[in-house]
């Protein structure tokens, strides 16, 4: 399989079809900061939104979302993904570095090395635009299997070869990224108890902390306040470019 990367500028029509294979858990679509902002990446930073196209079939194989932001690589925020997205859309100042927001591989093509290929393309894009740094608030791909394990512990788990236990963290380390630390408040989804029951596909009979499929940490349900709160930790990784 040969994949070629094109920008949203070159293939703007793909954005209308790419959601057909979106596979994020429903609650991941309800981040407070992303509402009204994530879609603007395609308008405000169109040349940084990439489509990886299978040359043989012209099918979308992988999508890449990144953007220039005004963050300090030496002091990355605890609000991680959310703060980076806010900066990409709201800050009217000179950007300092490139931030990754998402690399998503079509399910049928996962395990084929496309995530590493897409990360390499993101690094190349940063270099072309003159950035010295690429940062990524990484959502560890296997953390949802261990929602009760503290993120700091999980992020430092390694295999016998010394590489990270988590596959997505491993891709970044193999691309020479450095582990910076956990951003504990990277993503935040808030809803009513009924909304959370719909998003999670499960009942919450009482107040408490619940393990929800796809969530990296428990969701906190408060029946008296009629609310559910999910605050997701991610892992900051830092790539030096050029």
For the chain, domain boundaries: 3-183+235-240, 190-228
Q: Which of 111, 114, 133 is nearest to 66 (CA)?
A: 133
Q: Find where tokens 């040349």 sit.
A: 47
Give the CATH fold of the 3-183+235-240 domain: Aminopeptidase (3.40.630)
pLDDT, tens digit, 9 for 90 and up, residues 33-92? 998 899 999 999 999 999 999 888 888 899 999 999 999 999 999 999 999 999 999 998
Q: Among the residues of 30-103, which ranges form H helices?
A: 41-44, 80-90
What is the H or E stretch that residue 236 is in?
A: strand 227-240
pLDDT digits (tens, 9 = 90+) for 107-139: 878 888 899 999 999 999 999 999 999 999 999
- For the chain, first and last CA: distance in Å? 28
**What does DSSP assign to residue 199?**
H
- Backbone torsions φ then ψ of 30, nearest 5 degrees: -125, 30
| Mean pLDDT taken over the chain | 94
Q: Given this model, what pLDDT does residue 106 score?
A: 83
Helices 167-174, 114-128: inter-axial angle, 10-degree rounding: 40
């Amino acid at each position: 399989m040969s994949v070629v990367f094109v920008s949203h500028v070159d293939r703007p029509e793909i954005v209308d079809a790419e959601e057909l294979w979106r596979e994020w858990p429903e609650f991941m679509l309800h981040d407070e900061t992303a509402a009204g902002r994530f879609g603007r990446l395609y308008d405000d930073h169109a040349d940084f939104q990439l489509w990886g196209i299978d040359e043989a079939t012209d099918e979308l194989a992988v999508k890449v979302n990144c953007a220039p932001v005004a963050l300090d690589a030496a002091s990355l925020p605890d609000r991680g993904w959310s703060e980076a997205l806010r900066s990409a859309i709201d800050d009217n100042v000179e950007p300092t570095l490139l931030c990754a927001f998402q690399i998503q591989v079509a399910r049928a093509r996962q395990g084929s090395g496309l995530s590493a290929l897409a990360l390499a393309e993101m690094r190349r894009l940063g270099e072309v635009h003159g950035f010295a740094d690429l940062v990524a608030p990484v959502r560890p791909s296997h953390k949802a299997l261990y929602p009760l394990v503290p993120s700091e512990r999980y992020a430092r788990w390694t295999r016998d070869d010394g590489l990270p236990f988590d596959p997505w963290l491993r891709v970044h380390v193999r691309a020479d990224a450095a582990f910076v630390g956990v951003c504990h408040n990277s993503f935040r989804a808030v809803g009513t108890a009924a909304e959370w029951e719909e998003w999670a596909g499960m009942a919450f009979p009482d107040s408490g902390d619940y393990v929800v499929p796809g969530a990296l940490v428990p969701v906190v349900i408060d029946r008296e306040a009629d609310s559910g709160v999910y605050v997701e930790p991610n892992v900051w990784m830092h790539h030096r470019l050029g």
